Every structure is written in structure tokens, then in C-alpha cells.
Amino acid sequence: EADFGRVVDLLGRKVALKSISAEGITAEHMKRSAEFVADELRQVGIGAKVVQSRNPDGTPGAWEVIGSKIVDPQAPTVLLYAHHDVQPPGNEEDWESAPFEPTVRGDRLYGRGAADDKAGIMAHVAAIRSFVEVVGDDFDLGLVVFFEGEEEFGSRSFANFITENRDTLEADVIVVADSDNWDVNTPALTVGLRGNVTFKLTVSTLAHAS
């Protein structure tokens, strides 16, 4: 509770970063977004760095944030996942406040990505900070983080990145901060996912009645 105001302020600063992956996953604005996240992780004791992934065809991919804090290699390891990119805001005239100007109305913070998934990142950062303050730095648990930079753009380089960084990302449990809540007051915990399948359906018809 004592740290909540700082976390909300941090979330607002992240919202202000226009990390729109659809405007170029390799672009400088996406790298700045990743560096912002990595810096916050380093401040809570995670050895985080920004790494550029590679697409299946070998071209440069997204700016990813990866890092770890392993005190005891024999201890269980938890992997924390979120993504730092967002969807385009659409027509700004449809917004009650500018999408990249974090705005508090009532007890909620509004802005593009304030929930999906910048809040997920800050939830992880806040949890790590609180955990360290309670148990100290020398805890019997391994922490690994992977914050993706192209989740909203199809994750084209995701499989390659996982393969190339398999040893670093190895964990016993994965906590994904990118799922639903029952409502604004009730959190939810998803304990299993089946994955998804995407496909493109093309329907051809006659140009005119036969």
C-alpha cells in the first residue's frame, strides 16, 4: 500500500511512451520502451537487458526485455511474462482524454495500454520490490523475466527468441500478467491455457448472378 502511489506514477510514465508495435517493431520508439522497462527491473534487482529478436527469415525482430536473478541454482524458478507494446489508439477524437497522456478519472488511470499490458509489467515490478523488501535479497527462489515487444503485432519472432534463449528462460512456473479479471473489483487467476489457432479464410463468390 505504501508503494502504490509510486507504482501508479510509474505506470503513467510507461503509458506516455507510444510503444505502438504496429508502427515498427524495430523502431527507436520500441527500443526506448524496452529500455524503460529494463531500467525499472534493474532497480528492483533483476539483471535485465534489452535484446533484439530475429524473425524466422533472419531479419531483425522486436526489442525484448529479458533478465534474471538466480540466488540459488537449485531453487525453483518463476518466469514472469508481460508485453510492453500496445495497439494503435485509433481515432483520438473517440477518446475522452489523449491516449498517451495518462489521466486519472475517479480512482482509475486511463491511457492506451494502461491495462493491456503496461499494468501487467508494473504489477510484476511492484511484486518483486515488495517481495525483496519483505524477505531480503538473499531469497530461496529464482526469478526470470521476459517482457515481449510484439505481442500486439503477431509475435512473429517469438518462437525463435524462445529457442535461442531457452537456457535463460528455463523455469518451473510461468506467471503471465496478461489475462482477464472477473470485473474491476475482482481479480481472477487462470491456471491453465490451451493456446490458440489462427487462420485466414478467403471466400470467393461470383461477381454477378448467374
In the chain, the DSSP E strands lie at 47-54, 60-69, 77-83, 103-105, 108-110, 142-148, 173-176
Write out 145-185 in H/E/C secondary structure: EEEECCHHHCCCCHHHHHHHCHHHHCCCEEEECCCCCCECC
- Sheet-wide strand order for 77-83: 47-54, 60-69, 142-148, 77-83, 173-176
Instruction: Report d(CA 148, CA 66) in Å as an integer.
Output: 9
And the C-alpha cell for 209?
Answer: 448472378
Provide the annotated active-site residues.
85, 151
Closest CA to 144 of 43, 65, 204, 39: 65
For 106, left (φ over 0), alpha (ψ -120 to 50), or beta?
left
How many residues appear in the chain? 210
**Contact status, residue 161 vs residue 65, Cβ threshold 8 Å:** no
DSSP SS3 for 30: helix
